[in-house]
């Protein structure tokens, strides 16, 4: 119980630090929200009234206290452009981003697990070298280049998939591949390295001497013991999927919080920017915390608070 409370406290401290950092960064960013709402040609009296309505006439510490007071109540403020609650705007877009993140995560697992097993089982032979070469290629290609390349090939060239937007399940294929391929490369390399370390252990040699085939040794003994490092990496990637989805959503015009964030930055809609960044940060922290708990469950030798 003490460890659990300590873990919850650590998570809350991290979330508080992230929230404070987001508030301070947006507080000092150049630009005046009043100009966004009223325009630069507005009368001075109207500008002062708007600054008072937005609370911008208050000192920074007072604004910070009000920000955290509203945050505890789940109030992220009002959009300066759309004049709607930020929580409502995020709630409308978040399901699309979560769908994209889960699909990309499935791509990561579907590619990394068999590729890592093949590379480790055929260590220093051509399947291993081929997997490493493809993984290196996946790490080297940025999403903003891979996305248009996939569009040119599968949408414009072959006409198999939609170019952009959310027109059904087929529209999810290219964004999920774009987001998942580079992360699959990282997970593949991690699983391969972990399996190679495990396969040199004495208890695996004992299993082979007892007559177990290489496939049984790999699946029943090596893979379960190699999962802890992989789960840690997957937890990091699950959180990174929310942040990485921003670029991918813009490339494919996917209606998630990524496009909402970019539109808000262009329009200087600071409450929306603040809310989306906080949601991404919270998702990253919670996914890493979940990974720690899963790793501790997989490997009893690892204790997590």
Q: Per-residue pLDDT tens for 140-190?
A: 777 777 777 888 878 777 777 777 767 777 778 888 888 888 788 888 887
Q: If you average pLDDT over each of 11-15, 103-107, 237-241, which comes out highest?
A: 103-107
Indicate if the pLDDT at residue 97 is higher than 80. yes
Q: Which of 199, 191, 184, 182 is nearest to 228 (CA)?
A: 191
* Average of per-residue pLDDT across 216-235: 70
Question: Whole-prediction pTM value?
Answer: 0.77
Q: Residue 211's pLDDT is what? A: 63
Contact indicator for 146, 178 with CB cutoff of 8 Å: yes
Q: Which of 244, 241, 246 is nearest to 286 (CA)?
A: 241
213 vs 15 pLDDT, higher one: 15
Q: Residue 38's pLDDT is what? A: 63
Domains of the chain, earliest start first? 2-72 (no CATH), 91-298 (1.10.3720.10)
Contact indicator for 34, 50 with CB cutoff of 8 Å: yes
Contact indicator for 198, 222 with CB cutoff of 8 Å: yes
Q: Which of 95, 26, 74, 90 is nearest to 54 (CA)?
A: 26
Q: Which of 221, 120, 126, 134 is nearest to 184 (CA)?
A: 134
Q: Residue 207's pLDDT is what? A: 64
β-sheet bridge partners, residue 78: 85
Secondary structure letter of residue 172 according to DSSP = G
Helix (H, G, I), strand (E, B) or coil at 268: coil
């Amino acid at each position: 119980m003490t460890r659990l409370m300590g873990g919850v406290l650590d998570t809350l401290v991290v979330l508080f630090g992230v929230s404070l950092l987001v508030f301070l960064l947006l507080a000092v960013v150049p630009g005046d929200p009043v100009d966004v709402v009223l325009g630069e040609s507005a009368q001075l009296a109207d500008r002062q009234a708007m600054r008072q309505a937005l609370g911008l006439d208050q000192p920074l510490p007072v604004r910070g206290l009000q920000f955290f007071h509203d945050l505890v109540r789940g109030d992220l403020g009002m959009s300066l452009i759309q004049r709607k609650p930020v929580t409502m705007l995020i709630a409308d877009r978040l399901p699309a981003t979560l769908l994209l993140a889960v699909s990309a995560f499935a791509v990561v697992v579907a590619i990394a697990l068999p590729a890592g097993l093949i590379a480790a089982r055929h260590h220093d032979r051509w399947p291993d070298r081929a997997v490493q070469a493809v993984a290196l290629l996946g790490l080297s290609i940025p999403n903003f280049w891979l996305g248009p390349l996939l569009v040119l090939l599968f949408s414009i060239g072959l006409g198999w998939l939609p170019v952009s937007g959310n027109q059904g399940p087929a529209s999810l294929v290219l964004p999920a591949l774009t987001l998942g391929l580079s992360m699959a490369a990282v997970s593949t390399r991690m699983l391969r390295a972990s399996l190679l370390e495990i396969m040199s252990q004495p208890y695996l040699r004992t299993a082979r001497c007892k007559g177990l085939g290489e496939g049984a040794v790999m699946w029943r003994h090596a893979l379960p013991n190699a999962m802890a490092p992989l789960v840690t990496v997957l937890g990091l990637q699950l959180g990174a999927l929310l942040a990485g989805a921003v670029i991918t959503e813009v490339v494919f015009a996917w209606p998630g919080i990524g496009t909402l964030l970019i539109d808000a930055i262009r329009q200087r809609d600071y409450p929306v920017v603040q809310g989306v960044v906080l949601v991404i940060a919270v998702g990253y922290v919670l996914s890493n915390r979940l990974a720690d708990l899963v790793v501790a469950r997989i490997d009893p030798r690892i204790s997590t608070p």
